[in-house]
Structure 1
Amino acid sequence: MAWSEHVVVRDRVRLACRGWGEPGQQPIVLLHGLAGHAGEWDVLARRLSCRYRVVAVDQRGHGASERHPRDVSRAAYGADVIAVVDQLALQRPVLVGQSLGGHTAMLTAAAHPGLVRALVLVEAGSGGPYPNGPVDIGGWLDSWPTPLPSRWNGSRIPRRRTGRCRLGGRAGRTRRQMVASLRPGRDGPLAGGERPAFLLARMDTGRMPHLVVLAQSSFIPAQEADEMLRQRPATIAMSIPGTGHDLHLEQPGILHTALSGFLEGLA
């Protein structure tokens, strides 16, 4: 099934989305990680589209969305998700986020629990302190070739451990914006100033099921994953063998099977 393009505008920032399925089906919103794009979800989205309405978002500064937004705060990312849900009339969607997209999904759900049916975190942790993050990732970005070819996807850049996460070498954002988007905010839960694991612990556990999917070679520290499960003991958690941080690209079929089973349990 081919995808259709949707455009959402919030605060004069254009957000491009890919949509599959039909209105009236249970909606699912897919959120990519830092330096990613909506197209990463194409294989998974097509498989889900026979039963669900799927919307993959090019988050601000990524893909076909506004390339140079002035605001790249965690609050802006979360508010964009709410705008997509509202403007596309997605009734209580399931939020699925990989890496930094998972962090955005957690913060959005914590701030607006009544608008989200369920939360799926793919290689996403609780967002604890990572003071060297901007420096580490800034150094990694400096290793990219300059200038980047306009149609090049960065596949020749080796992936790199950053201490908290691993980012695929994909073009699409400026160094300044990527680094700035990692800095936590200070104004309210959506700004990311409080650890999402504790925000989620205060949510209604009976109304928001959780699925956590980690890679066999996960970059989420074991103690962090344990803390998330302790805060949310009803969470369904699994690990996919033979995968790394980009497991949604490496094993979309297995992820589809895991996600489908979880979604069927929501009925």
Structure 2
Amino acid sequence: MPYAEVGPGVRLFYTDDGQADDDQPPLLLVHGWGADSHQWSWHIDALAARHRVIAVDLRGHGYSSVPDTGNTPRMMAADLDVLLDRLGIPRVIAVGHSMGGQVVSILAVEHPERVRALVTLDPGYGMSASLARGFPQMIASLRGEDPHAAAERIDEWCTNAGTPDVIRRWHKRRLYGMAPHVLAEAFEAMFTGPEAIGVRPASDEYLARRRCPVLSIWADQGRAAWEAGLIDNSGSVVVCWEGASHRLHEERPRDFVQTLEGWVRRL
């Protein structure tokens, strides 16, 4: 499997499947916090039947390098810009889940020429101030005596009674394989750091700078309605899959692929 050097001491693992489509840019699949590109195993075969599909392990995650510092969504987005240069890919349809939704949104804002369109899946932005009050304690626990247990407690929010056990187990195993400093640094950078865009109103101000069409799929009706009011780009669509958990695309892989394919065809 291929690797790409994207900066001093940073090498990204990625897979490259399917065939290029003259009518649409490749799909770039970006996983969430504490996961890796295996998260897309439920979807790659179906997507690669019609698209070139790049699935990447972000820095600090999976098989990619684990830097001592810089494990933030902004640095991850910068890495992706370099990766696309290495692959000779000028533009992509960028797909991101959770933290990956932040990463691809940053890529679209900071490197707008790179992103033809965005797909965000229960993205890690738009958190209310009341919810954010608990984040400092979560970050402290990620830097405490048992960071993996703390990460597992945080991850409980990501599932519900309908989440299959195999998905719960898959994510637990990956969390326990993560470097603790990456878990803490990335979580902090998403929500409480000086450049964090995960909490309103910082989310509103930053995401309003996106100029490409956006398909956003949420599990929470309130946050879906919030983003629908924020987006005015032609072709953008916001939907909510009520009853789904934060792992919505893993729980409903066929629905996700069909929704993405239908929207891409209409672009």
Pairwise TM-score range, normalised by the shorter structure: 0.7 to 0.9
- TM value normalised by structure 1: 0.78
**After superposition, what is the alpha-carbon deviation per residue over 1:206-254, rounded to whole angstroms, capped at 9, x for unaligned?**
xx11101112xx3xx71x4333222213430112354211112111111
Partner Cα separation in structure 2 for residue 56 and residue 138 of structure 1: 31
How far 1:50 sits from its partner (Å)? 1.3
Partner Cα separation in structure 2 for residue 174 and residue 251 of structure 1: 29
What is the 5 A alignment of 1:144-155? 144=148
Partner Cα separation in structure 2 for residue 198 and residue 157 of structure 1: 30
Residue number in structure 2 paired with 1:17? 14
Residue number in structure 1 paired with 2:164? none
Partner Cα separation in structure 1 for residue 43 and residue 243 of structure 2: 18
How far 1:202 sits from its partner (Å)? 3.2
Residue number in structure 2 paired with 1:148? none
Residue number in structure 1 paired with 2:135? 133
Residue number in structure 2 paired with 1:174? 179
Contact 2:77 2:104 in 1 (8 A): yes
How far 1:137 sits from its partner (Å)? 5.4
Partner Cα separation in structure 2 for residue 117 and residue 192 of structure 1: 25
Alpha carbons of 1:93 and 1:72: their partners in 2 closer, same or farther (altered >3 Å)?
Answer: same
Residue number in structure 1 paired with 2:251? 250
Which residue identity lines up with residue 206 of structure 2 in the other structure?
Answer: L
Which residue identity lines up with residue 207 of structure 2 in the other structure?
Answer: L
How far 1:159 sits from its partner (Å)? 4.2
Residue number in structure 1 paired with 2:205? 198
* Paired positions, count: 241
Alpha carbons of 1:143 and 1:79: their partners in 2 closer, same or farther (altered >3 Å)?
Answer: closer
The equivalent position to 2:156 in structure 1, one of 155, 160, 169, is 160
Alpha carbons of 1:143 and 1:179: their partners in 2 closer, same or farther (altered >3 Å)?
Answer: closer
**After superposition, what is the alpha-carbon deviation per residue over 1:96-148, rounded to whole angstroms, capped at 9, x for unaligned?**
00000101111111111121000001011435563532532553793746xxx
Alpha carbons of 1:14 and 1:125: their partners in 2 closer, same or farther (altered >3 Å)?
Answer: closer
Partner Cα separation in structure 2 for residue 237 and residue 88 of structure 1: 31
- TM value normalised by structure 2: 0.78
Partner Cα separation in structure 1 for residue 200 and residue 245 of structure 2: 28
**Structure 2, gaps ≥5 residues long:** 159-167
**Structure 1, gaps ≥5 residues long:** 146-153
Alpha carbons of 1:214 and 1:191: their partners in 2 closer, same or farther (altered >3 Å)?
Answer: closer
Aligned-partner SS, 1:183: helix
Aligned-partner SS, 1:64: coil
How far 1:195 sits from its partner (Å)? 2.7
How far 1:69 sits from its partner (Å)? 4.2
Percent identity between the two aligned chains: 26
Partner Cα separation in structure 2 for residue 27 and residue 87 of structure 1: 14
Partner Cα separation in structure 2 for residue 14 and residue 196 of structure 1: 29
Which residue identity lines up with residue 56 of structure 1 in the other structure?
Answer: A
Residue number in structure 1 paired with 2:161? none
Aligned-partner SS, 1:65: coil
Aligned-partner SS, 1:59: coil
How far 1:200 sits from its partner (Å)? 3.1
Partner Cα separation in structure 1 for residue 198 and residue 74 of structure 2: 4
Aligned-partner SS, 1:243: coil
Aligned-partner SS, 1:30: strand
Which residue identity lines up with residue 202 of structure 2 in the other structure?
Answer: R
How far 1:43 sits from its partner (Å)? 2.3
**After superposition, what is the alpha-carbon deviation per residue over 1:38-60, rounded to whole angstroms, capped at 9, x for unaligned?**
01102211101111110111111
Aligned-partner SS, 2:187: coil
Q: Please report the RMSD computed on the Cα atoms of aligned residues, expressed in angstroms.
A: 3.2
Aligned-partner SS, 1:160: helix
Contact 1:60 1:66 in 2 (8 A): yes
